[in-house]
Chains A and B, each alone.
Chain A
Amino acid sequence: METKTKKYTYKDFASDQEIRWCPGCDDYVILRSVQKALADLEIPKEDVVFISGIGCSSRFPYYMDTYGMHGIHGRAPAIASGVKLANPDLSVWVITGDGDSLAIGGNHFIHVLRRNIDLNMILFNNRIYGLTKGQFSPTSFVGQKTKSSPYGNTQPPFHAGELAIGAQARFFARVAGNMPAEMAEIFTAAGRFEGTSLIEVLQNCVIFNDGCYAEYTDKSVRADKQLYVEHGKPMIFGKDRDKGLVLEGLRLRVVKLGENGVTPEDILVHDACEQDPTLHQMLIRLEDPLVTGIIRSYGDVTFEQREDALTRQVKSNSDFRKTDDLFFSGETYEVH
């Protein structure tokens, strides 16, 4: 996409605006990781655009010294689609949350993935509505007590990744909000991926949903509770790197290396580029361990590539160059 490149540090992407997220919020970590990834991508910052919806996460564009727009609730994917189609040379990023993209903006979320426009979407999933002060979200679990579910939530949650795969997502990654190095690595890969890339960040909300992912993300447990997958590598995890995934019938099963004759060769090797999303879907649904990393990265034709090819074809088959050619064509007549 880009031919011109520039050398930056993450600081070049910080705007002069004071950041107003709550102290201790994972959003600070995400912001810094995005800035690092952009520095790595070496895209001129005037070619970078951040579009957001509404919610805590959606204040994000104000803190980036790039072009940006804080849009309206749920509509960021649609706005960003317009930006990208108007100028395909731009690197366009969508910042959204679980309420913004899975509730009010659900329709745009699925359709943007289906079309595969070259956008990078970062979904801050804290399983709660923060900005409106603590109601349950479409990713809150059944029984979760919130301001709008004092006796416990009765609505079963979405898995963002499962929904995304159902909507034909070509790129899906999941990462914990307290793992900046992995985040930056994934954001960089997403920036290089042609097509819509979706990154779900498991983000802690210190005020309304503190510890919502602690069972997976706490430093004391994460080596055993998270499997960080990498394309082409066996899916091995655990503090002692002694656990792995095997496929048994239609289920993924955790096995221990060395037990029952299991060797590293028996462990599934992650193929993020596989077109068939069945295994990716199974990885997304797995709860113990929780799978993070780039789960799916299948290269496909983008919407704008299809449109561009079609436009070239129509142009080469048409005699119309200027509107006059059209207006005076066909059935016209003279009045004297």
Chain B
Amino acid sequence: MPKSNYAMIKTSPEARDIQSLEAVVVRFVGDSGDGMQLTGTQFTDTSAMFGNDVATFPNYPSEIRAPQGSLYGVSGYQVHIGSIEVSTPGDNVDLLVAMNPAGLKTNLYAVKPGHTIIADSDSFTKKNLEKAQYETNPLRDGSLENYRVIEVAMTSLTKEALKGVEGLDNKSITRSKNMFALGMVYWMYHRSPEHTIDFFRKKFRKQPHLIEANTKVLNAGYYYSETLELIPNSYSIAPAKMPSGTYRVIMGNTATAWGFLAAAEKSGRELFLGSYPITPASEILHELVKHKHFGVKTLQAEDEIAGISSAIGAAFAGDLAITTTSGPGLALKGEALGLALMLELPLVVVDVQRGGPSTGLPTKTEQSDLLQAMYGRNGDSPLIVIAASTPANCFHFAFEACRLALEHMTPVILMTDGYIANGSAPWKIESAASLPEIGNRILREAREDWQPYQRDPETLARSWVLPGTPGLEHRLGGLEKDNPTGNVSYVPGNHEEMTRIRSEKIRRVQHRIPDVVPEFASEGDLLVVGWGGTYGALHTAVKQMQQEGYGNIGLAHFNYINPLPGNTGEVLRAFKKILVCELNTGQFAKLLRINFSGLEPEQFNKVQGLPFGNDELMDKFKQLLS
């Protein structure tokens, strides 16, 4: 962490109890204009730089600025920090920071009884209480007696702190009260505010009065905690043991974008992104468009179809081509995906899943696009489907999607979801030197016997001949291809042969992907099975089962969906019971039933737009083990 010149206000919490904790879950909630995402991000980054493991879960409304104080306008940011491994943002919270009554009302359910709530008492006005549908003030009516409530007049204290700072209007004064809250929380968890002050210096480089103002409010909150008798103790969370190396905190969508940057560099292809904005995938576009210095080309297209179509054109001309979307967009891209598959060009499609069907729940997470990714096209149209499972490994699987697309000459669908895409976690930075090489099928020299649909005997991938190559001019198209000339063919036997080849080509990818490695146990009574973004929740729950003495439970988590790893059947059949846990009504379970006859997996499904909770998982595991 940066050298602290913060010693001047170094507190002496010795005066009060210091409690050492393994992990803590903090949730910041307020109006969507209250800056809760920024507050949460700052607390996260500071904790990660201190050495804690971290996992976050932003939860915000799809309205940009919902009416102030309303229940549906509440924006929240949850962060789990630990001296131990932290794989989820946590279920229940140790500290709730509520900037208004609506935030308290909608989040109280998550606070562990006996734990702490910090509330901005200034915002508990009659009007705000009404908007939050409170009949009486919960800070006064005794309804919070099972919690430790710290009432702080944050708005007035913020105003007080900013007296004498020039150039601030009322709005920007009130807006900075989130920094007061952050200052308080920093003191409570022994975190230095220095990182956040550095952040102000960079962000407001051209507005020095805002650096001054925010720093003042942050310090005011910090000092206030120190002197406030109401906070009986503070907490320390020691750094976590993590593999040594250089780290940074990364959001899933950023990691996905960076995986593509790395793949472009390693493959020597220029990166092209054709995309249409859609929640929760747009940040991948926002991130990639910044990186023109690497020669990244982005086209914000007129619609989802143009996004993928332009990517297909770029792939034809030799770029590493990507398109990014979410469920409704994947539906629109279906026909073009079929074209890419028929042309046998490399293409990566990212589906950041959200609640469906139709517009569904744009800002909430779900895993219900799996069968759409597998089968959502006309004709027999197999392609590679892989899924990232944590915010950080979005990097690895984005890179892997590119490798598979380029080496196998096929579209690849990379699935992530709103939960891991918006969540952040420490990422051990992977330098280019540590990444594997990516091959390609480019043919540069004319050959007498070359045919567009000649194939590599091992992978069945055809060659990639880029326009501009003399002597190899050829035409591709969506009409069925003659094998191997690529000319249009309506011959019945040829169509069947080509259909089988396209399918076999994807099947053979199994030779180039790793086996699934079961965790905790490789045989026993119960195998918990998951795929994609539920890894953190499942891993945490199974681990806790082990700690409680259930040694006969294992976890098999899948990142490769089509094809499945070669050892899948063997891993599954080593357990008496199989429980497939997914945030849909059983789509992966269906796939397993199709692939492994006689296998009768049990299912645990949740479709609430929310991730799995630890307790519900463990209850289900215990029920199956009893």
The complex places the Cα of A332 from the Cα of B195 at a distance, in Å, of 12
Interface residues of B in 5-54 (CB under 8 A from A): 45, 48-49, 51
- From the candidates A86, A318, A321, A330, name the one contacting B313 in the complex (CB within 8 A): A86
Is the CB of B336 closer than 8 A to any CB of chain A? yes
A-contact 0/1 string along B308-322, CB 8 Å cutoff: 011111111111010
The residue in chain A whose Cβ has the minimal distance to the Cβ of B338 is A72
B-contact 0/1 string along A59-73, CB 8 Å cutoff: 001101111111110
The complex places the Cα of A331 from the Cα of B248 at a distance, in Å, of 6
Interface residues of A in 175-206 (CB under 8 A from B): none
Does A111 contact B475, Cβ atoms closer than 8 Å? no
Is the CB of A108 closer than 8 A to any CB of chain B? yes
Interface residues of B in 293-340 (CB under 8 A from A): 293-295, 297, 299, 301-303, 305-306, 309-319, 321, 335-336, 339
Does B270 contact A82, Cβ atoms closer than 8 Å? no
The complex places the Cα of A64 from the Cα of B312 at a distance, in Å, of 20
The complex places the Cα of A336 from the Cα of B243 at a distance, in Å, of 8
Does A82 contact B432, Cβ atoms closer than 8 Å? no
Tell me how far the C-beta of B306 lies from the nearest C-beta in chain A, rounded to whole angstroms: 4
The complex places the Cα of A51 from the Cα of B335 at a distance, in Å, of 17
The residue in chain A whose Cβ has the minimal distance to the Cβ of B467 is A67
- From the candidates B1, B270, B429, name the one contacting A86 in the complex (CB within 8 A): B270
Does B470 contact A327, Cβ atoms closer than 8 Å? no
Is the CB of A1 closer than 8 A to any CB of chain B? no
The residue in chain B whose Cβ has the minimal distance to the Cβ of A74 is B305
Is the CB of B292 closer than 8 A to any CB of chain A? yes
Interface residues of B in 128-179 (CB under 8 A from A): none
Does A87 contact B246, Cβ atoms closer than 8 Å? no
Is the CB of B110 closer than 8 A to any CB of chain A? no
The residue in chain B whose Cβ has the minimal distance to the Cβ of A89 is B468
Is the CB of B471 closer than 8 A to any CB of chain A? yes
Is the CB of B249 closer than 8 A to any CB of chain A? yes
Does B477 contact A69, Cβ atoms closer than 8 Å? yes
The complex places the Cα of A130 from the Cα of B44 at a distance, in Å, of 62
The complex places the Cα of A320 from the Cα of B306 at a distance, in Å, of 30
Is the CB of A151 closer than 8 A to any CB of chain B? no
The complex places the Cα of A87 from the Cα of B318 at a distance, in Å, of 8
The complex places the Cα of A72 from the Cα of B339 at a distance, in Å, of 7
Determine the main DSSP class of B at the interface with A. mixed
- Interface segment, A26-34, A40-48, A251-259? A40-48
The residue in chain A whose Cβ has the minimal distance to the Cβ of B307 is A78
Does B431 contact A327, Cβ atoms closer than 8 Å? yes
Known: A86-B272, A335-B247. A46 touches B476 (CB 8 A): no
Is the CB of A314 closer than 8 A to any CB of chain B? yes
Known: A51-B313, A69-B475, A326-B258. A83 touches B467 (CB 8 A): yes
With a 10 A CB-CB cut-off, give which of A44, A65, A69, A307 has the most chain B CB atoms. A69
Question: How many A residues, CB 8 Å from partner?
Answer: 58
The complex places the Cα of A104 from the Cα of B575 at a distance, in Å, of 53
Does B242 contact A335, Cβ atoms closer than 8 Å? yes
Does A69 contact B476, Cβ atoms closer than 8 Å? yes
Does B476 contact A68, Cβ atoms closer than 8 Å? yes
Does A71 contact B51, Cβ atoms closer than 8 Å? no
Is the CB of A49 closer than 8 A to any CB of chain B? yes
Does A15 contact B339, Cβ atoms closer than 8 Å? no
The complex places the Cα of A61 from the Cα of B314 at a distance, in Å, of 18
Does A335 contact B303, Cβ atoms closer than 8 Å? no
- From the candidates A61, A72, A81, name the one contacting B335 in the complex (CB within 8 A): A72
The complex places the Cα of A80 from the Cα of B8 at a distance, in Å, of 63
The residue in chain B whose Cβ has the minimal distance to the Cβ of A69 is B476
Tell me how far the C-beta of B295 lies from the nearest C-beta in chain A, rounded to whole angstroms: 7
Is the CB of B274 closer than 8 A to any CB of chain A? yes
The residue in chain A whose Cβ has the minimal distance to the Cβ of B243 is A335
Does B319 contact A323, Cβ atoms closer than 8 Å? no
Known: A72-B339, A326-B258. A49 touches B247 (CB 8 A): no
Is the CB of B478 closer than 8 A to any CB of chain A? yes
CB-CB under 8 A from B469, the residues of chain A are 46
Does B274 contact A66, Cβ atoms closer than 8 Å? no
The residue in chain A whose Cβ has the minimal distance to the Cβ of B269 is A86
Known: A46-B468, A85-B299, A90-B317. A324 touches B477 (CB 8 A): no
15 extra interface residue pairs, beta carbon distance < 8 Å, beyond A68-B475, A86-B270: A46-B470, A46-B473, A62-B487, A64-B475, A70-B476, A70-B477, A71-B309, A79-B313, A81-B310, A82-B309, A86-B297, A90-B468, A107-B303, A327-B258, A328-B246
A interface, CB within 8 angstroms of B: 15, 17, 44-47, 49-51, 61-62, 64-72, 75, 78-87, 89-90, 107-108, 110-111, 307, 310-311, 314-315, 318, 320-324, 326-328, 330-336
16 CB-based A-B contacts, threshold 8 Å? A17-B488, A68-B474, A70-B477, A75-B336, A78-B309, A83-B313, A84-B313, A86-B316, A86-B321, A87-B466, A89-B468, A322-B265, A324-B431, A326-B258, A334-B245, A335-B242
The 3 closest A-B pairs by CB, nearest first: A82-B313, A70-B477, A82-B310
